[in-house]
Structure 1
Amino acid sequence: MKNTFHLFLCFLLLLVVSCSSNTNENSLPETPNEEKFYFPPLNATTWETKTISELEWNENQLQPLLDYLKEKNTKSFMILHNGKIVVEEYMNGHDASKVWYWASAGKTLTSTLTGIAIDEGIISLNNKVSKYIGTKWTSASLEKENLITCKNLLSMNSGLDDRLGDEVLPSNLHYFTDAGNRWAYHNVYVKLQDVIAQANSTTWNSYFNSKLKDRIGMTGSWIKLNSSNVYWSTTRSMARFGILIGAKGKWNDSQIVSESFLNEATNSSQNINESYGYLWWLNGKNNYLLPKIQTQLSGSLIPNAPNDMYAALGKNDQKIYIVPSKNIVIIRMGEEANTTNLALSSFDNELWSKINSLIN
């Protein structure tokens, strides 16, 4: 009996050892830790870099890319990988200390501040705009004006007439159709800056500086041009913003804007123009509309760019490209590359052909 018990114990021991061995053999190898985003220190003059050879990119394609950029009236160009600088070039009389305008690429700053205000409970996307800035901010009837929500301004489907110019005085904001029924690129989005200021009993500049600019070490300033409010900064400040968005709203250990809001902002905000989020342009969708044009175009916004790329696009080819699958942020500032444009241009697809030759 005693021998039988000992045999049973030996059998159990062998079984445990065998199971343990099998588990180790069949378990997946540990995945190496993904490189963390690098966040340049506030007010830093130095910035960590990474070489093209480290990334195993095609180094012989860098100079053709830079030659093309210079020829296309570029002033500055950066490629960052996980926040570290891989390429930083200045040309055509520009340098790292000089500022340049973001144009409509700066719409994404307003989108981000809107997200912060939502995170703080100051505003709600689905509330009507008149809740915050009062009625008669348009020339529409009160019934139609009250249909326009903060989300409509973010999505460019306010229903207001975009054919009357970019002024946002009530006399220029006329009813065209009910909010949500028509996508039209229009400067009326800037009213969100008034919404945030009024809801927080402060000024737009003060809220922007304290909630975003100072927290990620940006420099620059907003400059009023008629009804437009245009941001001007160095290229590196634009890159800091790109890093923040690429890092899903985090800066070091601080969540500046919620990841959930950014997920919404960088996905289709309505079904009329699938390639438009909350003031962000989206690649890889089935169709798109362009500023001042009501014809829906089939296919992806920038065919040569990765499908998961999303972008801040500004007049005369100001660009922030963010590609999550490649952990890269790309900045371009300068004059128009080919012809004057408000957002997308043929330059985008041409440029991505050159970028692909470098990074693929």
Structure 2
Amino acid sequence: MRASYLTRGVLGLVLMAPALSMAQETETEETVRAYAAGYKAHFTCSATFNGGKTLAQIKAHELTGIYPLVADLVAQLPDAEIDAEKKRVSVRYDPDMPPRISQWRPHLGCAQLPVGAEASAAAYLPAIDLPEPDARTDDGAPWQEKAPINGDSGHQALDKVMRAAIEGDARYGANALTSVVMVATPEAILSEHYIEGFTPTTSQRTWSVAKSIAVSVLGAAVQQGMLDVKAPATVPEWNHPADPRRAITLEQLLHMASGLDSNQAGNRTDRLYIGGGAVTDTSTEFALEAPPGKRWKYANNDTLLSVRALRGAMGDDAAFLRFPFEALLYKIGMVHTKPETDWRGDFVLSSQVWTTARDLARLGVLYLNDGVWDGEQILPEGWAQYVSTPAPSQPPLDRGGSGVTPGYGAQWWLYNERFPDIPNDSFAALGNRGQYLVVIPSRNLVIIRRGYDPARGDRFKLDVFIRDVLAAIRE
């Protein structure tokens, strides 16, 4: 049995970034306007060229639910200018400055140019030379059986639960907006439902579900002997012998226990996410404020630094950019998945991944199979147990009394005995606006829910949905 290290209100504070307005006093009006333009350009670029979405869908989904710092400005700015030939999106925000620009690339999706950069700078963005898979269709592998999409699965009780979720039943959150629900085993898709306009090839931003993808990429590197989670993280910027951060281990980063200052709310990294910044001029610059391993603090930077450590360990930038695809994603059929980078070539694997429900389910199946795919050990044996074991430092037990929230492993959240109606071995990838991947080894089951929940209000109740799915399957 896992230790009961659960906290009330953590999800609302650390996963739902829009619920917080954390504008820093050092950010000028000009900077915030650049942020807003960057948000509009980047989300439009990714949704257009990764997700294949229409302008109407983008306005309804990607350009809503925005946190207060830039929400009004995003709405007030001119419409994004989409260059379909160059796969580039621009948003004008200041007559004296170049527009904010986001540029799409094969495999790597969209990257923002720095504030002040002209369009010509896009020629210097990182790119990789790999055969590009056809993401226009989904072959349905590895599942031998698939329930009809939006149809009757042959299991009346399960169909009732799935339709209630996709149709917005208040039982699962009065303000929740669900786009996809899916339940699968390694052998079969038991049920799969989409809102109008969505298909198995429609991708969405993962938000913080990306963190669980990140630790899977790192797991593949551990399997190949490139990394040791117990060893100090090889972050190049920390190489000076006087730098105490050199002692922070990769495992401490994965446990959200680096001890680093990551602003008041570690889930807000605006300068990187929407401000055209880079991992190396944001995440690597923070100082220690607590002993490593002694304090849990949810922080995007800990994830970003763990992936930066992989780049440092590999010492080959081209191989680093290919690694997620060659070692993990394309091996298990996640061909619709685009992990995006900053303009310097570091993956933003704390949030900026675009993927489909089926691709997330494939990752879940990999964990159900203990890292094995088609006979190949892609993740280390026991990696599923590793990421789902409670970290030594856990989230606070009480964060305001807003409900029971999970414990934490290694870049995965833990649903243990604090949720008596859910199997104790359940673990989940959780992201902003209601992105959920749940893995339940004892039931050999993966549950997916994607959505566009609002910044405020009654969001999707994942624990209720899990309980109802499990009860329905038992009937």
Q: State the 1:327 CA deviation.
A: 0.7
Counterpart of 2:390, as a letter, is S
Q: 1:223 to 1:50 in 2, by over 3 A?
A: closer
2:387 alignment partner in structure 1: 265
Q: What per-residue deviation string (whole Å, max 9, x for no partner) do you get for residues 32-60 of structure 1?
A: xxxxxxxxxx97256422669xxx99623
2:317 alignment partner in structure 1: 202
Counterpart of 1:145, as a letter, is R
1:162 alignment partner in structure 2: 262
Q: Pick one of 178, 192, 195 that aligns with 2:306.
A: 192
Percent identical pairs in the alignment equals 23
Q: State the 1:315 CA deviation.
A: 1.1
Counterpart of 2:415, as a letter, is N
Is residue 215 from structure 1 mapped to residue 331 from structure 2 by the alignment?
yes
Asked if 2 retains the 8 angstrom alpha-carbon contact of 1:197 and 1:207, the reply is no
Q: Pick one of 193, 206, 214 that aligns with 1:89.
A: 193
Counterpart of 1:80, as a letter, is A
Asked if 2 retains the 8 angstrom alpha-carbon contact of 1:317 and 1:333, the reply is yes
Q: How does 1:92-103 map to 2 (within 5 A)?
A: 92-103=196-207
Counterpart of 1:248, as a letter, is D
For residues 159 and 60 of structure 1, what CA distance do their matches in structure 2 show? Answer: 47
For residues 172 and 81 of structure 1, what CA distance do their matches in structure 2 show? Answer: 43
Q: 1:356 to 1:133 in 2, by over 3 A?
A: same
Q: Give the number of aligned pairs.
A: 294
Q: 1:337 to 1:264 in 2, by over 3 A?
A: same
Q: 1:173 to 1:338 in 2, by over 3 A?
A: closer
Counterpart of 2:189, as a letter, is I
Secondary structure of residue in 1 paired with 2:200:
coil
Give 1 or 2 for the bigger CA radius of gyration.
1
Asked if 1 retains the 8 angstrom alpha-carbon contact of 2:256 and 2:298, the reply is yes
Q: State the 1:94 CA deviation.
A: 1.8
Asked if 1 retains the 8 angstrom alpha-carbon contact of 2:439 and 2:445, the reply is yes
Asked if 1 retains the 8 angstrom alpha-carbon contact of 2:165 and 2:181, the reply is no
Q: State the 1:64 CA deviation.
A: 4.1
For residues 74 and 133 of structure 1, what CA distance do their matches in structure 2 show? Answer: 41
Q: 1:241 to 1:340 in 2, by over 3 A?
A: farther
Q: How does 1:339-354 map to 2 (within 5 A)?
A: 339=456, 347-354=461-468
Asked if 1 retains the 8 angstrom alpha-carbon contact of 2:256 and 2:299, the reply is yes
Q: State the 1:108 CA deviation.
A: 1.1
Asked if 1 retains the 8 angstrom alpha-carbon contact of 2:428 and 2:437, the reply is yes
| Structure 2 unaligned spans of 5+ | 1-136, 169-175, 273-278, 396-405
What TM-score do the two structures reach when normalised by structure 1? 0.73
Asked if 1 retains the 8 angstrom alpha-carbon contact of 2:437 and 2:449, the reply is yes
Q: RCO greater where, 1 or 2, for CA within 8 Å and sep 6 or more?
A: 2
Q: State the 1:162 CA deviation.
A: 2.9
- Does 87-96 or 197-206 show the bigger shift? 197-206
Q: What per-residue deviation string (whole Å, max 9, x for no partner) do you get for residues 100-152 of structure 1?
A: 111111111111121221222212212222x4424279xxx944312311111
1:244 alignment partner in structure 2: 366
Counterpart of 1:148, as a letter, is I
Secondary structure of residue in 2 paired with 1:331:
strand
Asked if 1 retains the 8 angstrom alpha-carbon contact of 2:162 and 2:191, the reply is no
Moved over 6 A (4+): none
Q: 1:224 to 1:170 in 2, by over 3 A?
A: closer
Q: State the 1:279 CA deviation.
A: 0.2
What TM-score do the two structures reach when normalised by structure 2? 0.56
1:44 alignment partner in structure 2: 139
Q: How does 1:278-357 map to 2 (within 5 A)?
A: 278-285=410-417, 300=418, 302-336=419-453, 339=456, 347-357=461-471
Counterpart of 2:291, as a letter, is D
Q: 1:216 to 1:263 in 2, by over 3 A?
A: same
2:184 alignment partner in structure 1: 80
2:245 alignment partner in structure 1: 145
Q: State the 1:160 CA deviation.
A: 0.9
Counterpart of 2:262, as a letter, is D
Q: State the 1:322 CA deviation.
A: 0.8
For residues 201 and 460 of structure 2, what CA distance do their matches in structure 1 show? Answer: 29
Q: State the 1:313 CA deviation.
A: 0.8
For residues 202 and 423 of structure 2, what CA distance do their matches in structure 1 show? Answer: 31
2:29 alignment partner in structure 1: none
